[in-house]
Structure 1
Amino acid sequence: MRRRAIHQGMRPRAVVAALLVCVSLSLAGCQGIPSSGPVNEGLKSLSQADQPVQFNPGGPTEDASQEDIVRGFVSAAASSADDYATAREFLAPEYADEWDPSLGVLVDEGTQQYREAEENVGVLSLSVIASVDERGTLQGVGPGAATEVRFEFAEIGGQWRIASAPAGIILDKSTFAAVWTPLQLYFLSADNRLVSDTRWFLNRATISTQVVGELLAGPTEQMVEVLHSALPAGTALAGGAVPVVDGTARIDLSAELLDADPTTMELVKRQLGASLQAVPNVARFELLVNGSLIDQGPVVAADTTSPTAENLYVAALKDGVFGQIRAGQVTLLAGIGTRIAQLQPSAVTLAPDRRSAAVLHQGIVSWVSPDDQVQVDLRGGLLAPSLDRFGYVWSYSSASPGEILVTKPGERTVQLQMPWLGGRQPVAVRVSQGGNRLAVLVVDSASPEQSKVLVGGISRDAAGVPLALTGAASVELWAAGTPIDLDWIDDERFVALTRNGVSGKVTQGVLGQFAVESGTVPGAVAVSGGGIRSLLRVLDDDGRLYSPQGSGWQRQLDGIALVAKVG
């Protein structure tokens, strides 16, 4: 009854956010940040700065008001020491054991308004900006999202205590950033290429256990048809933990691992080596089965889809010449530059290897190679196309809402449904560098002055043939202003361009993380991620091309008719 009463006091969005989230905040062995006390001497050793931190709030004070009890409880729940012992001091004895902090975490801006709703009932109003679910996946919340959570009180020995509270915990953004960290887990695409997936983990000594546990759990529900794990089904941690001894993570697994053939074992090692590379103080790992060593390997950075050295350039159209920008000049791109320029394009997307292109020209999408030119989409209302690493052209037309045409010239054409568009009309549709995700820039249906980026997964077979889009997409970015353009920077980062007045607002997003505002460019009309962060460019309506410079943008070249995208 108590939990139902809590949910009745919350808005629908709040209920969804609260139930999305399931985390554990055990920070045993962490250094503490006291909530009061004198200023102490600094660290004697700089290595101490790498230690995880924990907040050490105090318990309830004598004769505290109901509001004080609520605020003290919320503050105390930032520390999980002794199974949230301090937070439980604010609860009535019969409820202290019932309260479950693992059922929800909301991240808010830090402005928490309290009001008395009725006798012995208080409500805390939050400005929620994100939630983190039980898999460590962060989901942002749109601007202005209000959440109300309800608290009921009982008088115990003349002191107010909480008799009913929202399951889970509430953290302001600064506290969240202090005790959580984003890491990249790596799963495998259908062609066994490593693909990153951002997860948030607590900064604690057991982070290696958390990482391996999530790899064993496999991809999230949204991406389970896109990615897979090489670890055999049913494999579990034999000892329940992954200790780190002298820089080596000892991963003791159940006997199912013995079912892996040599090829699969190499994939398992690639996954583990890439996923553990960001874990502090881990340089190697050992694979054991019931205590017996069966394999081992180094912790290494994952292979990437970043452009090779010879492809580290920005391509553009200037004075009828399409080519790469070097030393302030546009030099004809060998093989396809002349063909592209002759089409008088309005948008160009180069393949990741820069040897072919998808071109929007005179309302038509064509594929261009050194030896051929093929019209692949003649529908009206076409957006700038994508061209993935498998050679497929992706073209979206407003004439066929809710689906996207995928064509491999000379081989096949398929139409994939985009069920998560919900009737919204995209302004830009882009395929990620690795070819595993599709990003769409749309107007926020709740506010025409806001834009958002939806990201869904692309299911393929082992040959790279697109089979379907995932049934759901996540909102990975909200940005102020009406939508203009979108592009991927690399396989994890993307950039959105929105209009605020006469300026183009640049916002960079990272999958599963908070977005970063990156300044404005007056009159901006297009953005190119370039395939790597250093190649990010913005074009304005007077043909001026801008590159990032510190926290702003530097004018690089004039007279540019268009800047090409990649992938």
Structure 2
Amino acid sequence: MTASRDRRFRPAMILASVCACLALVGCSSIPTSSPVGHIEDDSGDPAASNARIPDGPEPGDSVSEIVRGFLAAGAGTGNNFSVARSFLTEAEAQKWSPQESVSVMPNDTDLKSLNSDLTTDQKTLTMSAPVVGLVDSSGVYSSTKPGTQSTLEFSLRQENGEWRISSAPNGLLISETDFQTIFLNYSLEFFTSDYSYLVPDSRWFLRSSSTPTALMNELLSGPAPYLSGAVITAVPDGAKLGDSNVVTIENGVAHVSLGPQSPAPSDREKGLIRQQIASTLQVIPSISSIELTIGGQAVAASLQPKTDSSVQVDGPPVVLADDRISRVSGTTVAKVENSPNLKKAKASDPAVSLDDSLYVYLQNDGRVLMRLKSDAVDSTPILNGKRLVRPSIDRFNTTWTGEAENNGELKAVGRDGQVFTVAADFLSGRQLIDVEVSRDGTRVALLSRHKGEPDRVDVVGVPRDKAGNPADGLSGDPITVGANFAEVKDVSWAGSTSLVALAAEEGDKVQPFRIGVTGPSAQLGEVSDGSRIAGGADGRSILVTSSHGALYSYNSNAWQRLVDVAAEDPSYPG
């Protein structure tokens, strides 16, 4: 094999199409009239100049060499994957859609090691590849269960005396590292039901000068299914880009033209639409401002409201220390002034509200949920159960929990003591481990397990009524996060688009990880014997406690143990 062909088959930048038999998360598709696109010389993205130029086919290549060369060449995104298309017949090169889906392989996968099966007439080659994540046509990333394989089938025929692929499954297959090199994570912005906060809907798109257009088309299509009913959009149903069908950028100004709308939006509605678009597009470095027209009429920047992008976490985290509810400040731990002595209460799992007005905790081995108001002397029971799990308080001061042996529902106790039963059918028959509501109140992360299966983290939307109370049920289409882990010991929100977890892949020890709500995971160093984890709002403030009471703080990408401190069950406000 030639040296150039050895370079072609390196695992560094591998691409393949993915078989349609793999189930992807259902989402609306990017309109074919406005594809995500490719890296172009004028994209303004520094990674564009670093993109590898792959090898094309060579005279006399065998069927296997053509297929493997096609897979390797797919890493070259330039000129709309022109090198990869050169391995296809002329007709197939026109039809092949590389961005219909993306499958992400483990980093240790070598293209040359993938199993393949070639028919005797050399007209069909089948290949299998392991995958750890899937991205659908709308850019939503879903992790896959351990052992998931993608099966790819290629048909070939000779064209001008050379083998070429006449049928290739649509989509891409790339390594984890390369995925995060040639794709970028963006957030489509929607509103909480009371318009108080913007909620990010995390998506992945190829680095490209046409990414602003792709973002706009997806924003206009609405939120991902797992957020259904939990967030709202100011954009009317059916709204589309205007006649040009693209977002253009000139001197840092993104020009967005929407077609006419009927009925015409009010000034308030125009301002909210502008807010969503501006917040979505201004994360792109080349965009400093936007100009929006609706039906040819300019929408003034003065109409745009000032909506907070995230819920602030001002107070310090809470722990159990010296049989009291305590707060962690820097490297010290101090008890809450009115905390009762919990030595005989068999207490666990304290939580504190975002406004520091109330604390909750479990006692009697999880049979009672207690609440302590900051201005009260005594704590009071607010919910009884058989074995309740770790509580979580949302921004409405509603406390969430559920039974460990779950029958498909959660319990939420309002600030006035009203108890809400919230259906979560997908939990029925599973053991619930943890309930974590996002600080904006729109999503809940649920850690659960079932005998003989890997532990599972589901993230799903929380619909609410006009008063902010939870509706009767969660959104019906949860997204599974961190499915590649065999064990997940604990989980916590760490910002608006990511979680932190104590987790382990098959055969490994439990360690702290950061996991994108729709994205891959990354290990956060090592902590010995971690038992609980808690994350702050910025994704950098993280605490871990061990089963022996040691307390570790994550600072400057390193773990530091707090000396002479013994604590349990850390939790940041919210």
The answer as to whether partners of 2:406 and 2:427 remain within 8 angstroms in 1 is no
Q: Report deviation, 1:227.
A: 1.4
Instruction: Note the alpha carbon deviations across 1:257-313, whole angstroms, 9 max, x for none.
Output: 8722222222222212221221122111111134442323799995311213xx1x2
Q: Report deviation, 1:243.
A: 0.8
Distance 1:190 1:341 in 2: 41
Match of 1:210 in 2: 214
Q: Report deviation, 1:545.
A: 0.7
The answer as to whether partners of 2:270 and 2:299 remain within 8 angstroms in 1 is no
Instruction: Note the alpha carbon deviations across 1:382-413, whole angstroms, 9 max, x for none.
Output: 11111111121112113442211112153532
> For this pair of structures, how many residues does the alignment match?
538
Matched, 1:475 2:480: yes
Distance 1:254 1:12 in 2: 37
Kindly provide the amino acid, as one letter, of the partner of residue 284 in structure 1.
S
Distance 1:410 1:277 in 2: 40
Match of 2:41 in 1: 30
Distance 2:48 2:81 in 1: 21
Report the aligned-residue RMSD: 3.2
Match of 1:65 in 2: 62
Unaligned runs of 5+ in 2: 1-16
Q: Report deviation, 1:416.
A: 1.4
Q: Do the aligned partners of residues 288 and 145 (structure 1) sit closer, same or farther apart at CA in structure 2, a change above 3 Å counting?
A: same
Q: Do the aligned partners of residues 52 and 381 (structure 1) sit closer, same or farther apart at CA in structure 2, a change above 3 Å counting?
A: farther
Partner residue of 2:490 out of 469, 479, 485: 485
**Alignment of structure 1 residues 168-179 onto 2, 5 Å:** 168-179=171-182
Instruction: Note the alpha carbon deviations across 1:160-216, whole angstroms, 9 max, x for none.
Output: 111222122333334332321001211012111211111112211122222222211
Instruction: Note the alpha carbon deviations across 1:72-102, whole angstroms, 9 max, x for none.
Output: 2223334455554433332234444343334
Query: Sequence identity, in percent?
Result: 23
Match of 2:147 in 1: 144
Match of 1:410 in 2: 416
Distance 2:278 2:42 in 1: 28
Q: Do the aligned partners of residues 95 and 523 (structure 1) sit closer, same or farther apart at CA in structure 2, a change above 3 Å counting?
A: closer
SS in 2 for 1:259: coil
SS in 2 for 1:175: helix
Matched, 1:337 2:339: yes
Kindly provide the amino acid, as one letter, of the partner of residue 100 in structure 1.
S
Match of 2:11 in 1: none
Q: Do the aligned partners of residues 445 and 262 (structure 1) sit closer, same or farther apart at CA in structure 2, a change above 3 Å counting?
A: farther
Q: Report deviation, 1:19.
A: 8.8
Q: Do the aligned partners of residues 400 and 72 (structure 1) sit closer, same or farther apart at CA in structure 2, a change above 3 Å counting?
A: closer
Q: Report deviation, 1:317.
A: 2.9
Matched, 1:355 2:357: yes
Match of 2:101 in 1: 104
Match of 1:528 in 2: 534
**Alignment of structure 1 residues 35-434 onto 2, 5 Å:** 49=46, 54-79=51-76, 81-109=78-106, 110-112=109-111, 113-119=114-120, 120=122, 121-192=124-195, 193-238=197-242, 239-256=244-261, 259-296=264-301, 303-308=309-314, 311=315, 313-326=316-329, 328-334=331-337, 336-338=338-340, 345-362=347-364, 363-369=367-373, 370-371=375-376, 373-421=379-427, 423-434=429-440
Unaligned runs of 5+ in 1: 1-9, 33-46
Larger RCO (alpha carbons 8 Å, 6+ apart): 2
Q: Do the aligned partners of residues 115 and 20 (structure 1) sit closer, same or farther apart at CA in structure 2, a change above 3 Å counting?
A: farther
Matched, 1:560 2:574: no
The answer as to whether partners of 2:313 and 2:354 remain within 8 angstroms in 1 is yes
SS in 1 for 2:301: strand
Bigger shift: residues 282-291 or 530-539:
530-539
SS in 2 for 1:274: helix
SS in 2 for 1:487: strand
Kindly provide the amino acid, as one letter, of the partner of residue 351 in structure 1.
S
Kindly provide the amino acid, as one letter, of the partner of residue 318 in structure 1.
A
Bigger shift: residues 238-247 or 266-275:
266-275
Kindly provide the amino acid, as one letter, of the partner of residue 347 in structure 1.
D
The answer as to whether partners of 2:144 and 2:484 remain within 8 angstroms in 1 is no
Q: Do the aligned partners of residues 99 and 185 (structure 1) sit closer, same or farther apart at CA in structure 2, a change above 3 Å counting?
A: closer
Q: Do the aligned partners of residues 481 and 399 (structure 1) sit closer, same or farther apart at CA in structure 2, a change above 3 Å counting?
A: closer
Tell me which protein shows more strand as a share of its residues.
1
Kindly provide the amino acid, as one letter, of the partner of residue 402 in structure 2.
Y
Q: Do the aligned partners of residues 535 and 458 (structure 1) sit closer, same or farther apart at CA in structure 2, a change above 3 Å counting?
A: same
Q: Do the aligned partners of residues 150 and 22 (structure 1) sit closer, same or farther apart at CA in structure 2, a change above 3 Å counting?
A: farther
Match of 2:22 in 1: 15
